[in-house]
Amino acid sequence: MDVRERVAFAPERLADALQRLRDETQTQEVAILSTCNRTEIYCAQDHPDAERLLNWMAGYHGLSTDELRRCSYLHSDAGAVNHMMRVAAGLDSMVLGEPQILGQMKDAWQAARSAGTLGPYLDRLFQSTFNTAKQVRTDTAIGENPVSVAFAAVSLSRQIFSDLRRSTALLIGAGETIGLVARHLFEQGVGRIIVANRTLERAQLLSEALGADAILLNQIPDVLAQCDIIISSTASPLPILGKGAVERALKQRRHKPMFMVDIAVPRDIEPEVGGLADVYLYTVDDLHEVIEDNLRSRQDAAQAAERLVDQGAGEFMQRLRALAAVDVLRRYRHKAEQLRDQELLKAQARLERGADPALVLAEMARALTNKLLHDPSVQLKQMSAEGRAEALALAQELFALDDHESIQDES
């Protein structure tokens, strides 16, 4: 944690960092992913030099290289592709299958693109990574079941109230967990949110961003009958919501169901409340049981996700290897076309002088064949003389020669 905090890249400084990283390490293409859980450099280099990258990061953040080296890791070639796809799919996250990392990966790609440090290799890798991560989300259940207390609470509420747009939620407390619950409810489109807290200022701070109402704890009885969902997480040593207050609220609601989640330890809601008809009360232990079940489900899905990542990484490396041959093929084609044009000019000149067309064509075909085969023949004989037996097998495969095919010498 101490090191991660110090190697994080602030968004407003990312463009400058990317350009400096590229120029000062002489790296062709670079991108940086910086989150609360990881800082990773993705790069394309002709000659891999991890030490230079490590020294640069240490210097940029004012750390010693040894300190950084102790908690760093390196993946290259196929390993790097596989790792990047696992990260984007949520397979390398602290919470297995969490979806936020894919958006952060897309931000890293966009930042490198805007800074001008994204080239063809990394761009192709990012696109393949996004496609693989999307396939993992579509074809597996790795992200379907909630594995956080906050999200599990909201998911359970949807089992009671299928249409949250008609529901009112009362959130008791204004800490981090309640903040997450509030955001999840807001994203699910809940009709109204009321935040109750010991200090009104904290409640208002959380409410402002969500368009919620803020009240004090002693005002809860005034609004309780209006609330369908009650989720509580405070540090109070004594219960905040008692059986009597809930009974009075139920009478006003004409026994319309109330869903309650008590995340606090010690409890904020008296246990006797769970015995009331029309009340569905869950504790933090109940949520952990849901989370454990969902984690097992995600772990099963992770096996399928790993296979998709391996497949995606393999396909990308196959395309990358194919691209490596493109330049060689292009240059060889150019050379062959030059030889063709030379022989064509000679043949046209002979035809203009009245030579027999059949003989001209035969001579052009023979000369072009000899010239096309000259350099490969010389190189192949040289490699064979040097004992490079694999060259003969490679040539046979390259020229698609049949193992059983034999050519009789012309006499």
> pLDDT digits over 67-117, tens only?
999 989 999 999 999 999 999 998 888 677 877 889 999 999 999 999 999
Domain's final residue, options 93, 109, 139 = 139
Domain's final residue, options 244, 277, 292 = 292
Q: CATH no. for residue 270?
A: 3.40.50.720
> Is position 18 within any domain?
yes
pLDDT at 410: 45
pLDDT at 49: 85
54 and 171 share one domain: no
Sequential pLDDT tens for the chain (411 residues): 778 888 989 888 999 999 999 999 999 999 999 987 789 999 998 887 889 999 999 999 999 999 999 989 999 999 999 999 999 998 888 677 877 889 999 999 999 999 999 999 999 999 999 999 999 989 988 877 667 778 888 888 888 888 899 999 999 999 888 998 999 899 889 999 999 999 999 999 999 988 999 999 999 999 999 999 999 999 888 999 999 999 999 999 998 999 999 988 788 999 999 999 999 999 887 887 777 777 777 888 889 999 999 999 999 998 888 777 777 888 888 899 999 999 999 999 999 999 999 999 999 999 999 998 888 888 888 888 888 878 778 888 888 887 655 555 443
227 assigned to active site: no
pLDDT digits (tens, 9 = 90+) for 165-181: 999 999 999 988 899 89
Task: Please tell me the total number of residues recorded for the chain in this structure.
Answer: 411
Domain's final residue, options 262, 292, 322 = 292
pLDDT at 194: 97
17 and 110 share one domain: yes
Query: Left (φ > 0), alpha (ψ -120 to 50) or beta: where does 302 sit?
Result: alpha
Range of the domain at 224: 149-292
58 and 109 share one domain: yes
Q: Which of 36, 43, 71, 227 is catalytic?
A: 36
> Is position 198 within any domain?
yes
pLDDT at 397: 80
pLDDT at 157: 87
pLDDT at 411: 39
User: With helix as H, strand as E and coil as C, how does 117-141 read?
Assistant: CCCHHHHHHHHHHHHHHHHHHHHCC
Q: CATH no. for residue 9?
A: 3.30.460.30
Q: Are 188 and 158 in contact (CB under 8 A)?
A: yes
- With CA atoms as reference, report the closest residue to 124 among 343, 391, 320: 320
The count of domains in the chain is 2
92 and 180 share one domain: no
Q: Are 311 and 86 in contact (CB under 8 A)?
A: no
92 and 167 share one domain: no
pLDDT at 403: 62
How far is 27 from 41, CA to CA, in rounded Å? 11
204 and 85 share one domain: no
124 and 166 share one domain: no
pLDDT at 111: 96
Strand, helix or coil at 270? coil
> Is position 161 within any domain?
yes
